[in-house]
A and B are shown apart, each in its own frame.
Chain A
């Protein structure tokens, strides 16, 4: 599902004394079947944009095109419900949305709402729970008995079980331990490669952007200020600092090396850094 924002503007509580601008003049594209990262300082409008992707809010001005569906201020609720069946949205701290008596029932909830039969929903739920590494003996437990990390994974399984074409992740790893973070990110990238789905990740961690993203969108003050490949985005460190963002640690290290006279090219993640340093140690010095 390719997504296109065309001059989208959004105001919270319009026509009241509490009206606050959320987005203005937002135009950008999310390529189909790719991993897109959305970055920006806190309060820059990223999460407001995410709500547009699932039709949870409608743009005040402009339009959002998602596959064949065009969403404008006049779009009807019914069309949005149909659209939502193809979109998986993992909010920040998704464990707060669990409510059913058992883990399995909670994961089946999404598919059933979008019309899956009891058997299909259960099959989808079991497949999703397997993906997030929740063992079958937890299926009949109450979600409230689980640990925080397990609850997070059950909540994410509930979204994956809907088998979405578009998966939106709003800081899915916030507050998890390093291993849990790695496991989840691997799960998302595997899912994207396996099913060729479009993934949109909102994150503050530049390491993820460097490592996983094909495309990056930068938000500032409620609008998109730049979009492109991670290499183009991270090329201008000064500019990123202005936007209160940073380059990944591997690039910082490579830049520090460059100051000492060791020039490397295109280093964004730790693997690229290691490869180039290894090549250099083996005597393959490229001429700068």
Chain B
């Protein structure tokens, strides 16, 4: 049941984008979400679309992989688009039938929402598909470092994040095998009434929680036995290094941002 999720999975490769520093990719992914909102006309969205497409091509993974990744979110995108279409009531009326009223503003808004959704999801998928989870955690830690002065426990947060990421596949495997074991004992997942479905997850969730707690105790013991005493004064095995390509990526993104803002005055 978890097998078709592309979002959050790493796909190994050796493209220019794969080799970028995790920090660069993190910052650019977040920046992109804000920058997209500068686009306010067709040219702006075309530019943002072209930039996203270029970045996707550069990962060398193929556009198909990214489109498949959208599949779990199609319903959400569809619903938001429809809400925009039916509930925006300003502008010229295009269709007026019984209580349904579709207006020009509604159509424009729903298209904008759809395109923004697509762009943001596609662009942030680049980060997760091309960066190893542990590199993301390292990048986060490095980026959050300045907040240490304000009392944010950065190394603890980074540790939690990297442990959590490390155990996602383990817990997924475990969930799958507990599910199989309970199905063999006659549990029917995803069958029957809503109440029956909710109840059927109890034999999955309780063992999953219990095992997670056991695992946490064992991991804590193992860490202490290996001399872990907390975040400060630790040295790092994986050191992030900044390359020329990261500077190039940042400059490329800045040029794109300026161009996108410029499109606001083009129509």
**Residues of chain A whose beta carbon lies under 8 Å from any beta carbon of chain B:** 12-13, 16-18, 51, 54, 56, 77, 81, 84-85, 87-89, 91-92, 94, 96-99, 109-110, 112-114, 144, 158-159, 162
Contact = CB atoms under 8 A, between A and B. Distances in A.
B206 A56 contact: no
A109 B185 contact: yes
A96 B186 contact: no
Contacts of B207: 96-99
Interface string B198-235: 00001100110011000000000000000000000000
Interface in B3-30: 3-4, 11
Interface residues of B, dominant DSSP: helix
B11 A158 contact: no
Contacts of B178: 96-97
Interface residues of B, number: 24
B184 A109 contact: no
Interface of B: 3-4, 11, 65, 68, 174, 177-178, 180-188, 191, 202-203, 206-207, 210-211
B200 to A, nearest CB: 10
B181 A16 contact: no
10 nearest A-B residue pairs (beta carbon): A113-B186, A99-B206, A89-B184, A97-B181, A110-B185, A13-B3, A114-B186, A99-B203, A91-B181, A56-B180
A110 B186 contact: yes
Given A13-B3, A13-B4, A17-B65, A96 B174 contact: yes
19 contacts: A12-B3, A13-B4, A17-B11, A17-B65, A17-B68, A84-B184, A87-B184, A89-B184, A91-B181, A97-B185, A97-B203, A99-B202, A99-B206, A99-B207, A109-B203, A113-B186, A114-B186, A159-B185, A162-B185
Given A17-B11, A96-B174, A51 B180 contact: yes
B203 A144 contact: no
A113 B185 contact: yes
Contacts of A88: 184
Nearest to A47: B177
A174 B184 CA distance: 20
Contacts of A162: 185-186
A91 B180 contact: yes
A89 B210 contact: no
Interface residues of A, dominant DSSP: mixed
A112 B255 CA distance: 66
B61 to A, nearest CB: 8
Given A56-B180, A89-B181, A109-B203, A16 B186 contact: no
A158 to B, nearest CB: 6
Contacts of B188: 81
Contact of A18 (B3, B185, B203, B210): B3
Nearest to B182: A97
A189 B44 CA distance: 74
A16 B185 contact: no
A158 B181 CA distance: 11
